[in-house]
Amino acid sequence: MMSTTDLWWITLGLGAVVIAVVAVLLIMIVVAAKRIDRHAAEVWHTGKGIARNTAAIWQLQQTNTTAGQILAGAAAIAVTAESIDRRLAALPGALAALLGKK
């Protein structure tokens, strides 16, 4: 049969083993967390690079919208210019008819 002293030493030994296992697990968790943090920083850095590289695409879409508006304005100017051109082409005949009547 075990004495109280023997039982005390066994309990102390088991407690030490449990504490050692918990300490090892905590160390493993800290190491894994640092590795995750390092990878997260890499992902963050890469993501910022992607955002910087794709900003031009969004600006290009705005440029396309503005170019479309300019094209619509130019088309309206072309229609007006054609109307002016037709009227100028008809002007000599209108002047001749007007002067011929006097």
Q: Collect all residues with Cβ–Cβ distance below 8 Å to 10 and sequence separation of at least 6.
A: 2
Q: In sequence order, what are the residues at sequence separation of 6 or more whose Cβ sits closer than 8 angstroms to the Cβ of residue 2? A: 10
What's the mean pLDDT in 2-16?
93
Give 2's DSSP letter: -
pTM confidence score: 0.50
Number of H helices, E strands in the chain: 1, 0
pLDDT digits (tens, 9 = 90+) for 20-70: 999 999 999 999 999 999 999 999 999 999 988 888 888 888 899 999 999
pLDDT for position 102 = 54
pLDDT for residue 82: 95
Distance CA 69, CA 78 (A): 14
Q: How confident is the model at residue 98 (pLDDT cuts 50, 70, 90)?
A: confident
